[in-house]
Amino acid sequence: MPDIDVGDAAMAGWRLIGRHPLAAIIWGSAMAVLVAVVLLLFGGAIVGAIAAIVASGATPNPPAQVVMGLLGSLFGLIVLLVFGGQILEVVIRAAVLRAELDPGQRGFAYLRFGGQELWLIATSVVFWFVLFAANFAMSIPLAIVSMAGALGAAASTTSNGVPDLGAMTGMLGVRAIGQLVIVAVSVWLWLKLCFGVVLTYRERQFRLFESWAATRGHVLKMFLTLLLVVLMLLAVFLVLGAICLLVAGASVAAVAAGNWQALMQRPPQMIATALAPLAVVVLVMIAVNVSLGNALVWGAVARMWAQLNPDADAPAAFN
């Protein structure tokens, strides 16, 4: 009976990157370029508005025109980053699945935007909605219990009017346990539904809930596989994050000389130039995060699905 090989599946993403390093670089670079373009469109207006507000620090109320301009630019930036980023994220996810399951369909870094991607967008929206609805439903009783516990702890005072430490600790403990339960259920739901992304990609139809039966009896090994993936990603991101923070901190400190208010009083072009090293570091981190995250997570999911379906018509996917 087919089963999941945890070690093999956990390393699938690394093998995928080794087979297609240029494609992996392009995946992350595409997201970094999107962020850079959005920042170029709205960043100047945002920096200029913030600088104007800082310059009018002695005035209790900044000019309404400046505030509205700042809010409008922030709204445009967030909308384009959220919607554009999510669509590109799905396109990259499809490219990872294609590179793992259909390696012969190379094209440009396995990237496409067609029927498969549109079905994956629909599946991803429903996937996100299910997880959100489950979290929201579980948060309601936790919020009620936490509120009741907080009121009880506040009412449980000592003779000196000091809140009872035991009651406060109990309330915090109940809330912590509740949050852990919500996280555990969310992870379980994600594991139960993740094969739906692979099935939707392969069949070009909405197949999210078919994942429920496909994962039956395999959730523990799927969890162990993705736990290894997350630990590997965490180790890489901690090292890269430390390096990038040091570089960014040194660059900004050298320019601003530790005085952010003086920096914000410069013309917007000078501020943008001063913050360019920080922007480069952020873009590099975005590229690495997107490439590694998608390759390792969805490469592992695709590999687990293939291990459980050895008769599928993708025998050449694994070398």
pLDDT tens string 256-304: 555 555 555 566 566 666 667 777 888 888 899 999 999 999 999 999 9
pLDDT for the residue 63:
64
Task: Determine the pLDDT at residue 297.
Answer: 96
Tell me whether residue 156 is exposed, middle or buried, using C-beta atoms within 10 angstroms of its C-beta: 0 to 12, 13 to 18, 19 or more.
middle
Summarize the confidence of residues 115-129 as an average pLDDT.
Answer: 93
- Res 119 pLDDT > 50: yes
R_g (Cα) of the chain, nearest Å = 24
Whole-number Å distance between alpha carbons of 233 and 198: 22
Which tens digits make up the pLDDT trace of 147-159? Answer: 776 666 666 655 5
Which tens digit of pLDDT belongs to each residue from 187-236?
A: 999 999 999 999 999 999 999 999 999 999 999 999 999 999 999 999 98
Rounded to whole angstroms, the Cα distance separating 132 from 193 reads 14
Q: Are 280 and 17 in contact (CB under 8 A)?
A: no
Looking at per-residue pLDDT, the higher value among 181 and 174 belongs to 181
Average pLDDT taken over every residue of the chain: 82
pLDDT of residue 315: 42
pTM of the predicted protein model: 0.81
For residue 1, is pLDDT > 70? yes
The DSSP code sequence of 198-263 is HHHHHHTS--STTHHHHTTTTHHHHHHHHHHHHHHHHHHHHHHHHHHHHHHHHHHHHHHTT-HHHH
Tell me what the mean pLDDT of segment 128-145 comes to: 88
Asked if residue 90 lies in contact with residue 179, where contact means CB atoms within 8 angstroms, the answer is no
Bridge partners of residue 111, in order along the sequence: 108
pLDDT value for 319: 38
Please state, in angstroms and rounded to a whole number, the distance separating the CA atoms of residues 208 and 123.
Answer: 6
> CB-based contacts of 291: which residues, under 8 Å, 6+ apart?
17, 24, 25, 27, 28
Q: 108 burial class (0-12, 13-18, 19+ CB within 10 angstroms)?
A: exposed
Residues 240-252 pLDDT 10s: 888 777 776 776 6
